[in-house]
Amino acid sequence: MMEVASRAGVSQATVSLILNGSPGAKFSDDTRRKVTTAAKEIGYRPVQRGLPQVALATNQIAFVVDELTSDPWMALAFEGAREFALQQGVSVSLSVCRGGKLLDEDLLREFVHQPVIGFIYGTILTRRITLRGPFENLPTVLLNCYDGKRQLASVVPGDVEGGRKATQRLIAAGRRRIGFINGQDGIDASSDRLRGYRQALASSDITFDPDLVYNGNWEPPSGHDGTRAFLALDAPPDAIFCANDLMAIGCYEALKEAGLRIPQDVSVIGFDDREVAQFMRPPLTTLVLPHFDMGAAAAEHLLDIVGGLPTRHSQIKVECELIDRASV
């Protein structure tokens, strides 16, 4: 599988999801074609998993999250894990750590006695964590988070590559002065998407200008404020990359207030592919935050561990697909 991924230029998780036909996995036709062609060229066939001989009552994965909010990300990840696991005859139960604590003591005591084959532990924000309790004694895969010592496998979004891909799309449209409205400073997603933005500029010989980076807070007003700040520059941008779709909403409003057209005067690209993106006017070009696919990849990796397949503690980065609409 690693050889197929290398030949196709994608992640191992992408190869797995495509070749196993995981329902709901979102990949472009080009990506699917690259993977299937590479697999055919080297004669690869997906591994047939076999769970250890355990009682049916223990064929359950515990999916634990630090919180469920109005954002859909952890719910999507749970659905991805549940659908993949069900194909293997395994159920997935969802639990939330109460009170906003990293690990609730009552929750830990519950899983000491609950018959599960392993854990998927997910966080609403991509971040570094430290786990203890039953997670030390049963197979565990981290979702949207990672441990500093890399002792546990983790599945995270490919935010650096996503930031690069978004910026390259604007450059391909002929834009050379590209503003970036980022999320909160100090957040992994913010730093990774900024890194991808800078990499894309460097690869196209465009000088990085710190005046074209505005730190927002993921909400529409900061997208509005960041855009107004860009437009006040002596040389305003001809394109704006917003680190999430909500800030792109505010960006749209500021551009329209200034009498500027999207994309004729200023191209805009977002990140997340929230449902609202397709209903913006013009519809927003954006990147998918692949939590459904991440959940499926986490469940697959956990079942590989439980089934005794050779694995290594690694970090799997899942591709953020570009959804090209009309704002670029």
DSSP string, 184-231: -TT-HHHHHHHHHHHHHHHHTT----GGGEEE--SSHHHHHHHHHHHH
Tell me if 122 sits within 8 A of 264, measured CB to CB: no
The yes-or-no verdict on residue 120 having pLDDT over 60 is yes
- Give the start-to-end residue ranges of the domains of the chain: 1-158+290-320, 159-287
Angle between helices 188-203 and 159-172 (to 10 degrees): 40
- Length of the chain in residues, anyone? 328
Can you tell me which residue has the tokens 């159920």? 91
Q: Which pair of structure tokens corresponds to residue 198? A: 């800078």
Residues 170-217: pLDDT tens digits? 999 999 999 999 999 989 999 999 999 999 999 999 999 999 999 999
The CATH homologous superfamily of the domain defined by 1-158+290-320: Response regulator (3.40.50.2300)
How far is Cα 23 from Cα 25, in angstroms, rounded to an integer?
6
Mean pLDDT (the chain) is: 87
Can you tell me which residue has the tokens 């495509």? 18
Residues 149-160: pLDDT tens digits? 778 899 999 999
Say if 1-158+290-320 and 159-287 have the same CATH topology: yes
Q: Chain centroid to CA 53: how far?
A: 34
- Which of 52-61, 75-84, 232-241, 273-282 has the weakest average pLDDT? 52-61
Enter the pTM of the model: 0.81
Q: Measured at the alpha carbon of residue 63, what is the angle toward residues 3 and 150, in degrees to the nearest 5? A: 50
The domain 159-287: what is its CATH number? 3.40.50.2300
Q: Which of 218, 234, 161, 262 is nearest to 226 (CA)?
A: 218
Backbone angles phi, psi at 95, to 5 degrees: -135, 145
Q: What is the pLDDT of residue 115?
A: 76
Q: What is the pLDDT of residue 54?
A: 41
How far is Cα 3 from Cα 39, in angstroms, rounded to an integer?
9
